[in-house]
Amino acid sequence: MDGQRWLPLEANPDVMNQFIRQLGLVPSWQFGDVYGLDPDLLSMVPRPVCAVLLLFPVTEKYESFRLEEEAKIKAQGQEVSSDVYFMKQTIGNACGTIGLIHAVANNQAHLEFEPNSPLKEFILQSCKMNPQEKAAFLEKDESIRVTHESSAQEGQTEAPNVDEKVDLHFISFVNVGGKLYELDGRKPFPIVHGTTTEESFLADAAEVCKKFMARDPQELRFTVVALSKA
């Protein structure tokens, strides 16, 4: 990712909601904080939930796990539905925007868009592309880049320098065709985490998030956000 670099997006639901609203998503679904992953705290999250975003630290433990996981899947194979919208990340610090695109693009049946929505237009034009082509298409999309840049300035913390190394990374979890998918633009393909339902999706995604946390028990820099019906 030596090409474009964007300012990192904050894991702040207000910033995320403003971002997708500016790109033409009707606010009938909104991002909100998930304050904990045990059943009592999950019960506070408005339902239904159609996507979960996880912000986590990229540590040595995680990187070694990621490489093992990739090799294992390449050896064993996995079945990924052709309905899954998945894109690679080629822009530095764009993982927040790619996480939001993954969340929205895989839930178009639930979500509503304004007429002439730049985000809807981007998804429609790129849906038949392969993951690398989608990444190249995002590099050229000015409306999303400009909206990302303005949203990245809106957080509660001061935006870091665009060249600063950021070791936090966003990924999305979605339910496509009754399977729980992890979508991470740094990985070569979606990761299938078993079956799920609309009712159990939040709890199922929370279980996968717990595994991320268990790999780095000393780390506290985890944030979970859910896209719920408002």
Q: Which residues are annotated as catalytic?
A: 95, 169
Alpha helix positions (H), 55-199 = 60-76, 95-105, 118-126, 131-139, 142-152
Q: In 78-114, which positions are buried (b, 16+ CB within 10 angstroms) versus exposed (e)? A: eebeeebbbbbbbbbbbbbbbbbbbbbbbbeeebebe
SS3 of 208, please?
A: helix
State the Cα–Cα distance between residues 172 and 51, nearest whole angstrom.
7
Q: Helix 142-152 to helix 13-22 angle, to the nearest 10 degrees?
A: 150
